[in-house]
Chains A and B, each alone.
Chain A
Amino acid sequence: MRLRLAARLKWGERFRRPSRQQLWIAFGYAAAAALYVAIGVYETDFLLSWLVGAMYLLIVAWAVPVVVRRIL
């Protein structure tokens, strides 16, 4: 019992729960990933280049939110 409690405490120390804001950020990345996967499955060439992946992410996860924030 004590061992199990200690293990659970250790797990809790190692795995901290993300905050609500961090979950929102993760959700945004997951949505970007879903679109990336959809395009990639349809056109596999899209999946081949790291540079394409990085540019895609830069546009979707940084440039678009910056533009939207400025407009709003």
Chain B
Amino acid sequence: MSWAAHDLEPYAIQRHSRFKIAFVPLLLGSYSPDMMTKWFVYGIHIGHLRLKASDPVQFHRGWPGFGFTHSLLYGVVICLIFWKVLGSKNWGISFMIGQWAHALTDTGDTVGTMLLFPWTHHFDIGAWAYAGQTGRTTDAAAYFSGLGCMWDAVWIFYGLFSWQVLTRSYFEGHVFTADAFWGKLHSFVPMGALLVLYRAAFFYGSSRWVAWTVWAHVIHHFPYDLSWGGPHWVHAAHP
């Protein structure tokens, strides 16, 4: 599980892509594996009703469960839907690249992902503890105390190093022209607002990284544990 990498990776991909890439589906792809599942992993309250997966790890990454959303095949299937059914090859491929980035990034934790689903083997590097089953705040504290947050920091610094991708000229010259979606949106929304929306994921990922780090280490004093598979003060889930 990553907290900021999925917001930031699309900017690095955007920078290095040698072909026309559509940023919106790239970002959607990067978010898509967790879109349907995260709320149920942590649980939500609707009035007095509490909705939460009985086995969050199995639900999020396993099979039976929604673990297939973290597989390469899922990206291919949605790509084909965009391409063959909705008629946009660009959206399909961009979505697939974003989703693959997500699935590969999440192999970094102790649960890993079923990359080659329907083969249900979990590929995991085990660099940081998966603690989604402990609830949102403990998970945040654990994630921002281990190597996961360092991985996110790499993307933040890489994004700042590649600051040109965040400029107006880059947006107008590369991002806006690569996807008709922006042009359609421009009929209702001024260019300045579109530029802000384009930058929003980078802003969200990096600001959130700082905020959770402050929350975990300045307000609550959770200890850093940058050892492999850490932090070891939290119960790390395994497949």
The answer to whether A and B come from one shared complex is yes
Q: How many residues of A contact B (CB 8 A)?
A: 24
Q: Once bound together, how far apart are the Cα atoms of A44 and B215, in whole Å?
A: 8
Q: Which residues of B contact A58 (CB under 8 A)?
A: 193, 196-197, 200
A-facing residues in B190-233 (Cβ within 8 Å): 192-193, 196-197, 199-201, 203-204, 206-208, 210-212, 214-215, 218-219
Q: Which of B7, B196, B208, B210 contacts A57 (CB 8 A)?
A: B196
Q: Does A10 contact B (CB under 8 A)?
A: no
Q: List 28 A-B residue pairs with CB atoms under 8 Å apart, sorted by A's residue number.
A: A18-B163, A29-B203, A32-B203, A33-B203, A33-B207, A36-B203, A37-B210, A37-B214, A40-B207, A40-B208, A40-B211, A41-B211, A41-B214, A41-B218, A41-B219, A44-B211, A50-B204, A53-B200, A53-B207, A54-B197, A54-B200, A54-B204, A57-B199, A57-B204, A58-B197, A61-B199, A62-B193, A62-B196
Please tell me if the beta carbons of B200 and A37 are within 8 angstroms of each other in the complex: no
Q: Once bound together, how far apart are the Cα atoms of A29 and B164, in whole Å?
A: 15
A37 nearest in chain B by CB position: B211
Q: Once bound together, how far apart are the Cα atoms of A47 and B144, in whole Å?
A: 14
Interface residues of A (CB under 8 A from B): 15-16, 18, 22, 26, 29, 32-33, 36-37, 40-41, 44, 47-48, 50, 53-54, 57-58, 61-63, 66
Shortest beta-carbon distance from B200 to chain A in Å: 4
Interface residues of B (CB under 8 A from A): 7, 31, 136-137, 140, 161, 163-164, 167, 192-193, 196-197, 199-201, 203-204, 206-208, 210-212, 214-215, 218-219
Please tell me if the beta carbons of A61 and B215 are within 8 angstroms of each other in the complex: no
Q: Which of B140, B199, B201 contacts A29 (CB 8 A)?
A: B199
Q: Once bound together, how far apart are the Cα atoms of A37 and B211, in whole Å?
A: 5
A60 nearest in chain B by CB position: B196
Please tell me if the beta carbons of B208 and A53 are within 8 angstroms of each other in the complex: yes
Shortest beta-carbon distance from A8 to chain B in Å: 16
Q: Which residues of B contact A15 (CB under 8 A)?
A: 161
The majority secondary structure among interface residues of chain A is helix
A53 nearest in chain B by CB position: B204
Please tell me if the beta carbons of B201 and A33 are within 8 angstroms of each other in the complex: no
Q: Once bound together, how far apart are the Cα atoms of A1 and B86, in whole Å?
A: 56
Q: Which residues of B contact A54 (CB under 8 A)?
A: 197, 200, 204
Q: Which of A47, A57, A66 contacts B212 (CB 8 A)?
A: A47
A59 nearest in chain B by CB position: B196
Q: Once bound together, how far apart are the Cα atoms of A38 and B164, in whole Å?
A: 27
Q: Which residues of B contact A40 (CB under 8 A)?
A: 207-208, 211-212, 215
Shortest beta-carbon distance from B12 to chain A in Å: 14
Name the residue among B164, B167, B207, B212 with the largest chain A CB count within 10 angstroms.
Answer: B207
B38 nearest in chain A by CB position: A48
Q: Which residues of A contact B140 (CB under 8 A)?
A: 44
Q: Once bound together, how far apart are the Cα atoms of A22 and B192, in whole Å?
A: 14
Q: Once bound together, how far apart are the Cα atoms of A16 and B199, in whole Å?
A: 19
